Amino acid sequence: MHSTPETVVWLIRHGTSTFNLEGRCQGCSDEPELTQQGREEARLSGERLRRVGIEAIISSPLRRATQSAFEILDMLRPHAGDIPFDIDARLLEIELPEWEGLPFAEIQRRFPEQFLTWRIHPNHLRMPPAFGAADFPVRSLYQRTRHVWQDLLAIYAGKSILLVTHGGTGRALITTALGLGAKHFHSLQQSNCGISRLRFSAPQDGAQLELLNDTAHLGDRLPKLKEGRTGVRLLLIPAMESTPEDLRQVSSALGRVAVDQSFAVGPAGGAAASRILQCRTKEFTQQVSEDVLGSMVNEMLESGSDKELRHVVLAASPACLQRVLQERFGLTSSIAETLLLTGPGITPVHFPGRGVPPVLQAMNIFEPQFGLMGVQP
């Protein structure tokens, strides 16, 4: 019996646009276009992806996405030949007709209750329809992305493809692939030209998330915070065998972060924390047992401030870290197991406080096979 070839789907959000710089809501507006910074981000992303075997690119029709796709294609084609390119209107950004073009500060001032629903309970957001769209824009987006997966996994079975899309659509694609609903719309972060990767062994088996919102190729040490510099950013470090070079890369990434506390579970966690936080003293890392880890995390988050940001490192086995994510995001154990935490990548989770739900900012950034700047040696 022959095994079914795996389908690998890479996702990338478009580069920085004019509306991004102006702090304006984009939605399905086609007015924003790539800035020069956005074009450079897309080209760096093409360099990052040129050795991963992309066999097709599918883009949203909005020009900030197609402009990004063409910049990426320019970087891929000298190394991978003539890669097929297609447009899929279902990769459009979420429709927010009342807000599109408005600065977010003005949206928050003019529509305070609606904006609060958007941030805390996005699946309950209602907005007058445009062109017959649904009253619930987030639910409508999730229905659309489920159809995308049904078609893509049939058409591109066994291939490696790249989807060039938007922040909201990218989050909906990833969460629906993992079996999560619209209430998790804001649980993930998608930065400009942040790269994610899903692997499907078979369509009926669902996906495994291997990489989320990796911005290392853009020179970022950690993804930029969307919810302000307050609360706690928990930096999850899987305790696994890693080469000295890989550990140096992660240590270098954390070298620019003011780490306030460090916890380790088990001897392997202590060894990983010691190697990665080599500039700190051994006493800096506190050993904790797995039995008390949940209560320790609760206590740590409750001590977070709404006036400053604290960074806390947690080094433990991948299974232990999966359980932390399961508890914090209200996941089932089977879905938590689809989050493949690998070493020595960093998985940052931001807990902003103020009643705002946590955000999985990225997962496995600085994954070793691509190096710190995203290019294989």
Q: Which residues contact 204 (CB under 8 A, 6 or more apart)?
A: none
Start-to-end C-alpha separation, the chain: 37
The 3-state DSSP composition of the chain as helix, strand, coil percent (nearest 5) reads 40, 20, 40
For the stretch 34-45, pLDDT in tens is 999 999 999 999
For the stretch 53-96, pLDDT in tens is 999 999 999 999 999 999 999 999 877 678 999 999 999 999 99
Question: Residue 374 — very low, low, confident or very high, per pLDDT cuts 50/70/90?
Answer: very low
pLDDT at 372 (0 to 100): 37
Distance of alpha carbon 46 from alpha carbon 28, whole angstroms: 25
pLDDT at 204 (0 to 100): 66
pLDDT at 231 (0 to 100): 92
- Percent of the chain having pLDDT more than 90? 65
pLDDT at 130 (0 to 100): 63
pLDDT at 36 (0 to 100): 98
Distance of alpha carbon 361 from alpha carbon 350, whole angstroms: 7
For the stretch 355-367, pLDDT in tens is 889 999 999 987 7
CATH 3.40.50.2300 given to domain 7-217: no
Q: Which residues contact 254 (CB under 8 A, 6 or more apart)?
A: 221, 235, 276, 277, 313, 346
From 93, 95, 210, 227, the catalytic residue: 93
pLDDT at 246 over 90: no
Lowest mean pLDDT among 51-60, 233-242, 277-286, 316-325: 277-286
Backbone torsion region of residue 355, taken as left when φ is above 0, otherwise alpha when ψ lies between -120 and 50, otherwise beta: left
Mean pLDDT of the chain: 89
pLDDT at 265 over 80: yes
In this structure, are residues 43 and 69 in contact, taking their beta carbons and an 8 Å threshold?
no
Distance of alpha carbon 11 from alpha carbon 188, whole angstroms: 13
33 is catalytic: no
6 is catalytic: no
From 14, 166, 186, 217, the catalytic residue: 14
227-370 shares the fold of 7-217:
yes
Q: Kindly state the helix (H) or strand (E) to which residue 247 belongs, with its residue range.
A: helix 244-255
pLDDT at 376 over 50: no
Q: Which residues contact 319 (CB under 8 A, 6 or more apart)?
A: none
Q: Rounded to two decimals, what is the model's pTM?
A: 0.92
CATH code linked to domain 227-370: 3.40.50.1240
Lowest mean pLDDT among 117-121, 131-135, 167-171, 172-176: 131-135
* Between 79 and 302, residue with greater pLDDT: 302
Residue 369's alpha-carbon distances to 1, 10, 48, 138, 325, in angstroms, are 31, 16, 11, 35, 24
Distance of alpha carbon 206 from alpha carbon 170, whole angstroms: 17
**Sequence spans of domains, the chain:** 7-217, 227-370
Average pLDDT rounded to a whole number, residues 194-217: 90
Average pLDDT rounded to a whole number, residues 247-251: 75
Average pLDDT rounded to a whole number, residues 262-288: 79
- Name the burial class of residue 201, with classes exposed (0-12), middle (13-18) and buried (19+) by CB atoms within 10 angstroms of its CB: middle
Q: Peptide bond before 344: cis, by omega within 30 degrees of 0?
A: yes
Residue 64's alpha-carbon distances to 6, 8, 29, 279, in angstroms, are 30, 24, 10, 42
Distance of alpha carbon 334 from alpha carbon 323, whole angstroms: 11
Question: Which residue type, as a one-letter code, is found at position 86?
Answer: D
Which SS3 state, helix, strand or coil, does residue 161 take?
A: strand
For the stretch 152-166, pLDDT in tens is 999 999 999 999 999
Q: Can you name the residues that pair with 165 across neighbouring β-strands?
A: 13
Distance of alpha carbon 98 from alpha carbon 121, whole angstroms: 18
For the stretch 127-142, pLDDT in tens is 976 665 558 999 999 9
Distance of alpha carbon 184 from alpha carbon 152, whole angstroms: 22
Structure tokens at 4: 């079914």
Question: Residue 280 — very low, low, confident or very high, per pLDDT cuts 50/70/90?
Answer: low
- Name the burial class of residue 279, with classes exposed (0-12), middle (13-18) and buried (19+) by CB atoms within 10 angstroms of its CB: exposed
In this structure, are residues 238 and 246 in contact, taking their beta carbons and an 8 Å threshold?
no
